[in-house]
Amino acid sequence: KNEVEQSPQNLTAQEGEFITINCSYSVGISALHWLQQHPGGGIVSLFMLSSGKKKHGRLIATINIQEKHSSLHITASHPRDSAVYICAVHPFQGAQKLVFGQGTRLTINP
């Protein structure tokens, strides 16, 4: 079992829909990242959080440390949001490295 699990693995939705991607982890962590990867490989950091909630534009990330769970929400989704979204954690025992989930492939149809 992977230390970081994401669901769903694939998600297809219509433009305008509210999107939720979930991340669960089994290790103690000091911080969690949400990343976006477009075709061709480039990875962009969206959020780093260790508690509560962060918002940037149409993106919202939440984390519940006690339940070892985080969610990434996209409001008013748009075809340009189509990408792979990856959850990654800093485990306590290896604070610098990131441990990644397998990613969620999101496709937003016009």
Partner 1 sequence: DTGVSQDPRHKITKRGQNVTFRCDPISEHNRLYWYRQTLGQGPEFLTYFQNEAQLEKSRLLSDRFSAERPKGSFSTLEIQRTEQGDSAMYLCASSLGLREQETQYFGPGTRLLVL
Residue type, 62: T
E-state strands within the chain: 4-7, 10-14, 19-25, 29-37, 43-49, 52-56, 59-64, 69-74, 83-91, 99-100, 104-109
Which neighbouring-strand residues pair with 58?
A: none
Which parts of 71-100 interact with partner 1 (CB under 8 A)?
86, 88, 90, 94-100
Region of 40-48, 52-60, 64-72, 75-83 interacting with partner 1 (CB under 8 A):
40-48
The label of the residue with tokens 């699990």 reads: 5
Q: What's the length of the chain?
A: 110
Residue from 19, 25, 33, 77 in contact with partner 1 (CB under 8 A): 33
> Is residue 23 a contact point for partner 1 (CB under 8 A)?
no
Q: Which residues contact 10 (CB under 8 A, 6 or more apart)?
A: 104, 105, 107
> Is residue 30 a contact point for partner 1 (CB under 8 A)?
yes
Cβ of residue 66: shortest distance to partner 1, in angstroms?
19
> Is residue 39 a contact point for partner 1 (CB under 8 A)?
no
Q: What is the size of the binding site for partner 1 (CB under 8 A)?
A: 26
* Binding-site ranges for partner 1 (CB under 8 A): 4, 30-31, 33, 35, 40-45, 48, 50, 86, 88, 90, 94-103
